[in-house]
């Protein structure tokens, strides 16, 4: 199996500053992999290495099996990139920008696909406008159209929804899901954890240039968060102090580790089914997992990988 993207022991230093320190991960076919981390964690540097804007200090980045430094012309053709910052191109209008972008990738007559993307991203009626005449949301959509003009197989989304309102964000998420369904592999960097939780099959959390943890999104949540169980009974019970968050009459808010069987918890608390008036379980979020990983880096360094 050729992996769409494979990063092996990547290091990048700027003088004495290590922006990326020994990072390894991969993006598998037709998956959305989320690279999460606080500002300055090294996410954009990794993308810059993949797109050849930066040379790695050491390590390898491979796109569909080819080293980006050794065979850039091949790897660049496979890639579509949505940069973090909006690119301006002051002289040209939307359609011209997309035509040039197609031409850079060897597609001289690409009008049909360009119009398809313009319709898809609700930009068609704005195709004669210059970038500065577009709203923030339109600019973002233009960046995405630009990344897709040449039908790339691997899409790099570097914080594509930064500064985007919630309704557009949802439209973009739907679009990204659609691309995945069509077989595209996607690397998404973001610090909107809700976004990552909804979209990503797997995530890697990086901090200060190092991968702190990596694995399927659900397992990360399971491993690094706890469930909340809200139990309403018809009489009082005794609950260990470390489990109890809150008690309100016969309603108990309990903290339960994600891996634990609900039945076992109830048995341990000597709760019989006839006593239960109501039972609600709240799963932990990726945000909680993320915060836990970043706050306790020493304890949480573990690579959880499911090899396929």
Instruction: Give helix 286-295 / helix 217-224 axis angle, nearest 10°.
Output: 60
CA distance 256 to 183: 38
Decide whether 153 or 218 has the Cβ nearer to other proteins.
153
Among 29, 59, 103, 297, binds other proteins (CB under 8 A): 103
Give me the residue label for tokens 């964000």.
169
Among 1, 17, 73, 166, binds other proteins (CB under 8 A): 73
Instruction: Choose the stretch contacting other proteins; rule: CB under 8 A; options: 11-19, 82-90, 175-183, 208-216.
Output: 82-90
Could you give the C-alpha distances from 87 to 97, 143, 154, in angstroms and in order?
11, 8, 20
Establish if 106 lies at the interface with other proteins (CB under 8 A).
yes
Please report which helix (H) or strand (E) contains residue 292, including its range: helix 286-295
Residue 193 in contact with residue 44, Cβ under 8 Å?
no
Establish if 101 lies at the interface with other proteins (CB under 8 A).
yes
What is the nearest approach in angstroms of other proteins to the Cβ of residue 113?
15
Q: Which residues pair with 206 in a beta bridge?
A: 211
Among 2, 40, 70, 87, binds other proteins (CB under 8 A): 87
Q: Alpha helix (H) ranges present in 121-215?
A: 136-148, 166-181, 193-199
Establish if 83 lies at the interface with other proteins (CB under 8 A).
yes
Establish if 1 lies at the interface with other proteins (CB under 8 A).
no
The pair of structure tokens assigned to 108 is: 């001289």
Instruction: Choose the stretch contacting other proteins; rule: CB under 8 A; options: 103-111, 210-218, 271-279, 292-300.
Output: 103-111
The pair of structure tokens assigned to 243 is: 């489990």
Establish if 57 lies at the interface with other proteins (CB under 8 A).
no
Establish if 96 lies at the interface with other proteins (CB under 8 A).
yes
Strand order in the sheet with 32-36: 79-82, 154-158, 185-190, 32-36, 202-207, 210-216, 302-303
Among 58, 65, 70, 100, binds other proteins (CB under 8 A): 100
Q: Which residues bind other proteins (CB under 8 A)?
A: 48, 51-53, 72-74, 76-77, 79, 81, 83, 85-92, 96, 99-108, 146
């Amino acid at each position: 199996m050729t992996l769409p993207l494979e990063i092996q022991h990547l290091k990048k230093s700027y003088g004495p500053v290590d922006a990326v320190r020994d990072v390894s991960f991969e993006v598998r076919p037709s998956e959305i992999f989320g690279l999460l981390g606080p500002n300055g964690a090294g996410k954009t540097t990794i993308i810059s290495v993949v797109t050849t804007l930066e040379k790695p200090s050491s390590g390898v980045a491979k796109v569909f099996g080819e080293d980006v430094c050794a065979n850039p012309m091949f790897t660049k053709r496979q890639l579509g990139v949505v940069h973090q910052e909006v690119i301006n191109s002051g002289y040209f209008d939307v359609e011209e920008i997309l035509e040039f972008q197609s031409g850079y990738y060897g597609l001289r007559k690409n009008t049909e696909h360009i119009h398809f993307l313009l319709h898809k991203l609700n930009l068609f009626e704005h195709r004669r406008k210059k970038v500065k005449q577009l709203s923030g949301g339109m600019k973002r959509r233009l960046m995405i159209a630009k990344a897709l003009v040449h039908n790339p197989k691997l899409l790099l989304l570097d914080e594509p929804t930064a500064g985007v309102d919630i309704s557009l964000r949802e439209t973009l998420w739907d679009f990204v899901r659609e691309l995945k369904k069509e077989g595209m592999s996607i690397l998404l960097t973001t610090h909107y954890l809700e976004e990552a939780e909804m979209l990503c099959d797997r995530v890697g959390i990086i901090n200060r240039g190092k991968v702190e943890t990596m694995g399927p999104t659900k397992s990360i949540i399971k491993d690094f968060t706890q469930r909340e169980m809200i139990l309403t009974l018809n009489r009082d019970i005794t609950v260990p102090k470390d489990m109890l968050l809150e008690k309100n009459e016969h309603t108990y808010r309990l903290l339960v580790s994600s891996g634990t069987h609900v039945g076992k918890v109830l048995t341990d608390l000597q709760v019989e089914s006839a006593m239960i008036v109501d039972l609600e379980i709240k799963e932990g979020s990726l945000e909680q997992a993320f915060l836990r990983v970043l706050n306790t880096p020493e304890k949480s360094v573990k690579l959880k990988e499911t090899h396929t």
